[in-house]
Amino acid sequence: MADAPADPRLFYDRHIFMCNNVRPDGHPRGCCMARAEAAGGFDKLRGYAREKARQLGIPNVRFNAAGCLDRCEFGPNMVIYPEGVWYRFESQTDIDEIEVNPSEVTVAPPITDLLTITNSPGYTITWSGNDGEFNIPGTNAPAPDNLALASRGTIAFGSSEYGHGVHFITNVVDGLYGNSHCWISDFTKPDTDPFIGLNFGKTIGLRTIAWGRDNGDNSEGPANPNTDRALGTYTLQFTRAASPGAGTPETGNADTGWVTLGSLNYKAAFTTLFNPHLRHRFNVSAGGAPIAATGVRIKVSSNTLAIDEVEVNPVVTPDENILVLTPAEGYRIAWDGNDGDFYSPDVGAAAPDNAALAARGSTAFGSTEYGHGVHFITNVIDGLYGNSHCWISDFTLPDTDPFVGVRFGKTLSVENIAWGRDNGDDTEGPSNPNTDRALGLFTLQVTTVADPGVTTEETGDPTTGWAPVGTILYRGTGSAALHHYRRHSYAVSQDGKPILATAFRIKVPNSEIAIDELEVNSQIPVAQTRPVISITRSGTALQISWTGAGTLQTADQVTGSWADIQGATQSPQTISTSAAGQRYFRVRQ
């Protein structure tokens, strides 16, 4: 057999991407283009870099404008490939230093040499590669808005605290990064089972969790940023027990105590890939859905590890090339990065329980409906996802002011709203999932009038008619983090409180837009996970242990009949094997 041809050489020896993303003034992540203005602007700096490379005789190099490189806090950025080395450039002097004294090439290790994730059965923890988001070197470096903040009602607890005027348990929910805002357990005792946890005071849908050792405020001293006290194993746990705290037991049953989601082993640092001391955000799920939880905790492998902030479902600053949120005055609209929660490809893909369902007494109304045996107004509250369960206005008229809404039949405190174009049931046809009919400007409105509906006027005052909560703009082609056609949930509030409303409606961009379900105050279903049984033998005895709650059963045949083992309601159990014959075991939940 002939030898396979060799891989072709790289077209460029060096490919340099320079960020030229533009954001509005005052954006929390800053703007690389604005920072480059002091040196004459991006185009001038890129032109200077090209000319400098020519003068130095650097061959076969390409300089490209890149758009957002998503390391905005460190910008303006450039990254040089194939090495993957990052630089900040703000002046011609910076360009000179980069091109005259480039970093020595260091081959990046596999990520598993730096970080490993071990999932418990039924749960998934994933990491997108984020490393130090929201890192700010200045004083009082703030964490993003998230459900774990003390200002949102969350209470922190822990095994112990070192204190000494600085390293307190409450620091993990104070909304500030930095060594002086971190928690360390009391290693002088020593604390032999150190952990830090959060009590949300209610059931939430746990979707993302983030923490770091020192993610900002480098003004605290010469050792900053603090890169110590970060390597080790972090075990993530959750519970649905009422009022979880330091005394909540680890039972393996979420209804009574702590259950382990998995663990993360921070092994080593590599500057361009993983810096253990910085903030890292992880997605967590059970069967692809958020996890119903009243509390979370992190068990750390050493009593000297430090955590400067624990965040849950942090608000995401969306890429405005894809998603733009514009709340009306006095209102808030926030997105925590959810994208297609509760999606199922199967027939009967179900939406979660929520206040907008017809089954909850709500009534749908709309400007018109296309119908044709499928696209009806009532579809938006039938509790099912999919194209055949969506509403489309009658674009054949055409409908020049299309909208669809939900009347609650009472005054409701609205905390979140959600919708999608096609969030499930991919069995409906070859075009599934349907990705069309999703882009444009959606206007969210509420009212408190009695018996609102199609004829309710748009007055700007919720007590007399429809008033705007704000707008949500879907544009571009989407991304791996946001699929326009999937379900997205948004937290909404007015002056920091839930919005009082007797009805909610969405004015859609045009008469061909499709919505497969409107949801209000969606509830997170409790994921059912199968117990995992393990058996070990010791002489004539078996030790049988299992995850979760349940009663151990036995039978002489795998087909039964099955009988409870008296008193075997908690794991583990020791069972004698002295009796003759085969025996089978299972756990009944």
CA 140 – CA 181 distance, rounded (Å): 9
Is there a domain that residue 279 lies in? Answer: yes
CA 153 – CA 151 distance, rounded (Å): 5
3-state secondary structure (DSSP) of residue 280 = strand
3-state secondary structure (DSSP) of residue 265 = strand
CA 123 – CA 129 distance, rounded (Å): 19
Output the CA torsion sign for 477, 480, 484, 486.
Answer: positive
The CATH number given to whatever domain includes residue 56 is 3.40.30.10
Residue count (the chain): 589
Is there a domain that residue 33 lies in? Answer: yes
- Scan for tokens 């929520």, then name that residue: 354
Residues 244 and 345 in one domain: no
Phi, psi of 179 (to 5 degrees): -60, -40
CA 428 to chain centre: 29
Q: Residue 323 is inside which H or E element, if any?
A: strand 323-327
Is there a domain that residue 105 lies in? Answer: no
The CATH number given to whatever domain includes residue 404 is 2.60.120.260
CA 462 – CA 460 distance, rounded (Å): 6
CA 360 – CA 352 distance, rounded (Å): 12
Q: Look at the chain and report how many structural domains it folds into.
A: 4
Backbone torsion region of residue 30, taken as left when φ is above 0, otherwise alpha when ψ lies between -120 and 50, otherwise beta: left
Residues 173 and 249 in one domain: yes
Inter-CA distances, 440 with 9, 67, 112, 333, 406, Å: 44, 22, 41, 17, 21
Is 486 within 8 Å of 343 (Cβ atoms)? yes
CA 561 – CA 493 distance, rounded (Å): 55
Is there a domain that residue 8 lies in? Answer: no
- Among 351, 387, 360, 367, smallest CA distance to 518 is for 351
Contacts of 106 by beta carbon, 8 Å cutoff, 6+ apart? 83
Residues 329 and 295 in one domain: no
Does the pTM exceed 0.85? no
Contacts of 73 by beta carbon, 8 Å cutoff, 6+ apart? 29, 30, 132, 133, 134, 135, 136
Q: How far apart are the first and last CA of the chain?
A: 59
The last residue of one of the domains, among 477, 492, 520, is: 520
Residues 275 and 328 in one domain: no
Residues 352 and 438 in one domain: yes
Strands 563-564 and 551-555 come out as antiparallel
CA 157 – CA 136 distance, rounded (Å): 26
For the chain, residues with pLDDT lower than 70 are 1-10, 28, 38-39, 73, 99-107, 221, 527-531, 548, 579-580
What pLDDT was estimated at residue 1? 39
The pLDDT tens digits of the residues spanning 160-211 come to 999 888 999 999 999 999 999 999 999 999 999 999 999 999 999 999 999 9
Residues 361 and 506 in one domain: yes
- Scan for tokens 């002056």, then name that residue: 495
70-75 contacts at long range (C-beta below 8 A, 24 or more positions apart): 72/21, 72/23, 72/29, 72/30, 72/31, 72/32, 73/29, 73/30, 73/132, 73/133, 73/134, 73/135, 73/136, 74/135, 75/19, 75/30, 75/32, 75/35
Q: Residue 36 is inside which H or E element, if any?
A: helix 32-36
Residues 390 and 453 in one domain: yes
Is there a domain that residue 106 lies in? Answer: no
Structure tokens at 584: 């089978």
Is there a domain that residue 459 lies in? Answer: yes
Is there a domain that residue 328 lies in? Answer: yes
Residues 159 and 303 in one domain: yes
What pLDDT was estimated at residue 106? 54
The pLDDT tens digits of the residues spanning 529-572 come to 566 788 888 877 888 888 767 888 888 888 888 889 888 888 88
Structure tokens at 175: 């909304």
DSSP E strand stretches across 82-165: 85-88, 115-119, 123-127, 155-158
Residues 165 and 304 in one domain: yes
Residues 542 and 454 in one domain: no
Is 527 within 8 Å of 287 (Cβ atoms)? yes
Structure tokens at 121: 């059965």
The last residue of one of the domains, among 286, 312, 338, is: 312
Four-point Cα dihedral 506, 508, 511, 513, nearest 10? -100
Four-point Cα dihedral 276, 281, 282, 285, nearest 10? 160
Enclosing domain of residue 78: 14-100
Is there a domain that residue 525 lies in? Answer: no
Residues 271 and 344 in one domain: no
Residues 191 and 251 in one domain: yes
CA 488 – CA 341 distance, rounded (Å): 7
The last residue of one of the domains, among 36, 71, 100, is: 100
- Among 585, 532, 531, smallest CA distance to 562 is for 585
Structure tokens at 495: 């002056």
